[in-house]
Structure 1
């Protein structure tokens, strides 16, 4: 269980698993987290925005708020799931060209724990730019759940076959572990 009132941002990208992000939100809520869904602009068409808003009681954010709009509560932790090849590479390079990436760009400097659960095939994961991005993020203390015992990339064209086994709970366990370490 987490501290009462802890806010978890879930940043969802346009991947095959995005439509199931409500599963992660449900798991987190069962553990006592308040959940704010942040979608990359491309992910909006992959998710059921009204259902997620009803589930979390918060608007799904994909762009900067208007000056008159209320701010979202500050994040205590962030999970990026399902994380795309594009978002992982941009985050590692410090690119902040969307609301989701701007949040990610700032979070390490604020000491907010981040866990990334990729959804990539092995053709993408084998690329040198992607491997450098994963190494760079890990060097900054960001958890990237990729590799043996975590998440193995799927074969190209088979992402839809892996959605039911996508390890949402692994990302939640890791972020909870980070929160416990931070309190010690």
Structure 2
């Protein structure tokens, strides 16, 4: 779903419709969103913070300063950390405050600091909703770029019937889903990315590994997500945080990475294999730490199963499979051979002879080689920029011919 992994800040205002915020929180969490609830003080009279904290999995925030924990709730950080702010229910009082820049509670301060899209779902009695002041405030809020999720019509808490009911939680979820899905070039596509090294155990405390930092793969996962793809990142051990919005699967060994890739590959439209997978693994793993005896240690190594070749043999029409090649000599000939042998759509070549490229650093220098043997070499760039170049090539390949 488009909102999986999104950081949603849910504002809850005082009003009987606040009870629906519990169901909305549950729907958002079920859809994979990370939900931070912020309540106005009046909202706590209608539904308890404990209820929404339990459903969201995060402490509910009400005040600038939490005297119980001594914590300052920084409204700027809260606003900037949200992919979207949703205020549901939004009372007439809060609508007026938002429209005129009043800032007497934490939710108002977050709203005034917001750079992400703001969705406002009003709820109030029909006469309050129809009043000229409220309608003027709604127009003002729309002029600021806020998105209004209009109230529904039906029975109201006052006993009257008419317009003013909070939009149903399912409709609010749909509004968010539609927003995050719209106009993104890879919307509706599923992507699988591998990153980092694999560690092949020798004994319970030692392993064979490599110097891969995972930075290139993580940058690719983040860029594919920004372009609208539903991304699964399978990563070996790194010190990096998973990109927001990306489904993360942590693995250690080459065998674990193979199993994870096989679980997701068949349903992926785009697969980018940037992990540095070990070519060999110990034939036997000691169940205890190997003690230092004698002058040397001999390990019998066996080949790991080739993940890229395995996926290439399963690739169906319409799937894109992209591999990486890190070479030290005869770079292009080795990369072209790998491209053909493993049934790739294109390969991304790194040369260890290029200064600033390869493992660990924040930059990379690549050459993309396609199945027509056309090679395009790029200048040294940040790995974020390199990820954008690779994704541009992916989008060109997905675009229908003549489109």
TM surpasses 0.5: yes
Correspondence for 2:15: 15
Is contact 1:123–1:156 with CA below 8 Å preserved after alignment? no
Correspondence for 2:159: 158
Name which one, 1 or 2, has greater alpha-carbon Rg. Answer: 2
Is contact 1:17–1:166 with CA below 8 Å preserved after alignment? no
1:20–1:4 Cα change, 3 Å: closer
Number of matched residues? Answer: 178
Tell me, in whole angstroms, the C-alpha distance in 1 between the residues paired with 2:160 and 2:10: 20
Tell me, in whole angstroms, the C-alpha distance in 2 between the residues paired with 1:4 and 1:27: 11
- Asked if 1:168 corresponds to 2:172, the answer is no
- Which runs of 5 or more residues in structure 2 are unaligned? 186-403
Is contact 2:61–2:73 with CA below 8 Å preserved after alignment? no
- Could you say what secondary structure the match of 1:38 adopts? strand
Tell me, in whole angstroms, the C-alpha distance in 2 between the residues paired with 1:90 and 1:75: 21
Q: Which has the higher strand share?
A: 2
Higher relative contact order (CA 8 A, sep 6+): 1
**TM-score normalized by the length of structure 1:** 0.83
Correspondence for 2:149: 145
1:155–1:51 Cα change, 3 Å: closer
- Runs of 4+ aligned structure 1 residues displaced above 4 Å come to 66-73, 153-156
Shift of 1:11: 0.4
Shift of 1:155: 5.4
Tell me, in whole angstroms, the C-alpha distance in 1 between the residues paired with 2:4 and 2:166: 30
1:106–1:70 Cα change, 3 Å: closer
**TM-score normalized by the length of structure 2:** 0.40
Tell me, in whole angstroms, the C-alpha distance in 1 between the residues paired with 2:73 and 2:126: 41
Shift of 1:153: 7.5
Among 123, 128, 134, which residue is 2:132 paired with?
Answer: 128
Correspondence for 2:46: 46
1:123–1:9 Cα change, 3 Å: same
Shift of 1:5: 3.1
- Asked if 1:113 corresponds to 2:120, the answer is no
Shift of 1:20: 2.8
Tell me, in whole angstroms, the C-alpha distance in 2 between the residues paired with 1:102 and 1:70: 11
- Could you say what secondary structure the match of 2:98 adopts? helix
Correspondence for 1:95: 102
Is contact 1:122–1:154 with CA below 8 Å preserved after alignment? no
Tell me, in whole angstroms, the C-alpha distance in 1 between the residues paired with 2:60 and 2:119: 20
Shift of 1:156: 7.1
Shift of 1:48: 2.3
Is contact 2:13–2:91 with CA below 8 Å preserved after alignment? yes
Q: Which has the higher helix share?
A: 1
Among 91, 94, 104, which residue is 1:84 paired with?
Answer: 91
Task: Give runs of aligned pairs for residues 40-79 of structure 1, distance below 5 A.
Answer: 40-65=40-65, 68=71, 74-79=81-86
1:97–1:6 Cα change, 3 Å: same
Shift of 1:177: 2.2
